[in-house]
Amino acid sequence: MSNKADSGKSYHLQCTGVAKETADAHNAAKDITLFGSCFCPFVQRVWVALEYLGIDYKVRVRLYDEVDPYKKPADLLEVSPKGLVPALRLENYNPPRAVNESTVILEFLEDIAASTTKRSLLPPVTEPYARALIHLQADHVNRTLVPAFYRYIQAQDEEKQIQGAKDFVEAIHGLIKLFQRAEKEGESTCGLWREGGTLSLADVVAGPWLFRSTNVLVHYRGFAVPAGPQFRAYLDRLFNYPAFKRTCSIEDLYIDSYERYAHNRPNTSQVANAINAGTTLP
C-alpha cells in the first residue's frame, strides 16, 4: 500500500498537454461558456460531452488560468450558486442564463444536440429499454463508484485504505456486470465496452474517475487496476477515444492536484468535506 509524504503541493490552475491544446482552441466567444477547472472529474464529464456532441463552446479562463473554484470569483457564483464547477453560462439570453451540476448539464447538452448536431450519448428514444439500461449504468457510477473513489483516496489509516480498495474494486465490478447485462441482452447500451462501439453516457460519467484510478490511485494508494483483459481493453478504448483524450492533461497535473485529497487536508473541497462527514456529495 503506497503512502507518499505530503509535500504541500496545491492543485493546478491550467491544463496541460492535449487538454491545453483543446482549451486554446476554444477561447473565442460562443453561445455556451464552460466554467471549469483542469483537474476536476465532474468538469471533465461535461467537457467530453461537449467534444463528442459537437456543440461549440468557450472554456472560461482567467489570466490564462482556468477558473479557480476555491477562490469563488463573482462571475462563477453568478452561474453556480454553490461556487462549484462545472457550470455553463448561456450567452444567447439577455441577461445570460446558467446551468450547473454535471448530470443536469449532460441532460441539457443532450437536448441541445438533439436539435442541432443530431449526436447523442444515448440510444434512440425508440429504444426505451436500452435507454433505461444505460441510465442504470450511470446511476451506479454516481451512487457507488464516485463516492468509493473519494473514500479510498481520503482514507488515512491502513485498515480503511484496504477497505477503500475493496469497495472501489467492487464498484468497478458492479459497472462491469451492468455492461455485461446489456451485452447479453443485445441492447445498444454497451458503449465502448463492446469493441467497435461508440461513446456512451455511462462512459462519459465513469471515465474521469476510471482514468484517475490509473494514475492518482496507483501513485498514492498503490492501487492495482483490475487486470481482466476485457476491462483493460475497455479502458484502452475509453482513454484513447478522441473526445475523451482531448480533455486529458499530463499525469503530473492529476498527481499534484490530488495530493491534498490523499492526505485529507482540512477543507480540501466540498466533496472531500462531504465524504468526511458521511453525507451525500454536493
Q: End of a domain among 114, 146, 167?
A: 114
Reported as a pLDDT band with limits 50, 70 and 90, residue 65 is very low
How far apart are alpha carbons 155 and 148 in whole angstroms?
11
Q: 1 or 191, which is more confident? A: 191
| Residue 37 sits in the same domain as residue 151 | no
| Residue 144 sits in the same domain as residue 174 | yes
Whether 122 is covered by a domain: the verdict is no
Q: Answer whether residue 274 shows pLDDT above 50.
A: yes
| Residue 98 sits in the same domain as residue 28 | yes
How far apart are alpha carbons 161 and 43 in whole angstroms?
26
Q: Answer whether residue 97 shows pLDDT above 90.
A: yes
Whether 6 is covered by a domain: the verdict is no
| Residue 271 sits in the same domain as residue 140 | yes
| Residue 57 sits in the same domain as residue 174 | no
265 φ/ψ angles, rounded to the nearest 5 degrees: -60, 145
Residues whose CB falls within 8 Å of the CB of residue 227, separated by 6 or more in sequence, listed in order: none
pLDDT one-digit tens code per residue, 5-32: 899 888 888 899 999 999 999 999 999 9
- As a whole number, mean pLDDT of residues 141-150 equals 98
Residues whose CB falls within 8 Å of the CB of residue 281, separated by 6 or more in sequence, listed in order: 146, 147, 150, 271, 274, 275
Q: End of a domain among 114, 142, 161?
A: 114
64 by Cβ neighbours in 10 Å (0-12 / 13-18 / 19+) ranks as: exposed
Domain of 190, in residue numbers: 128-277
How far apart are alpha carbons 34 and 59 in whole angstroms?
5
| Residue 26 sits in the same domain as residue 95 | yes
Q: End of a domain among 59, 88, 114?
A: 114
How far apart are alpha carbons 270 and 47 in whole angstroms?
21
- As a whole number, mean pLDDT of residues 112-117 equals 97
In this prediction the pTM is: 0.95
How far apart are alpha carbons 165 and 42 in whole angstroms?
21
| Residue 203 sits in the same domain as residue 256 | yes
- As a whole number, mean pLDDT of residues 168-185 equals 96
| Residue 148 sits in the same domain as residue 89 | no
| Residue 148 sits in the same domain as residue 233 | yes
CATH of the domain at 138: 1.20.1050.10
Four-point Cα dihedral 114, 31, 36, 193, nearest 10: 20
Grid cell digits, residue 185: 441482452
Q: 74 or 229, which is more confident? A: 229
| Residue 74 sits in the same domain as residue 97 | yes
Residues whose CB falls within 8 Å of the CB of residue 39, separated by 6 or more in sequence, listed in order: 11, 12, 249, 253, 254, 257, 258
Whether 263 is covered by a domain: the verdict is yes
Give residue 64's pLDDT.
34
| Residue 168 sits in the same domain as residue 253 | yes
Reported as a pLDDT band with limits 50, 70 and 90, residue 69 is low
| Residue 59 sits in the same domain as residue 178 | no
CATH of the domain at 77: 3.40.30.10
Domain count, the chain: 2
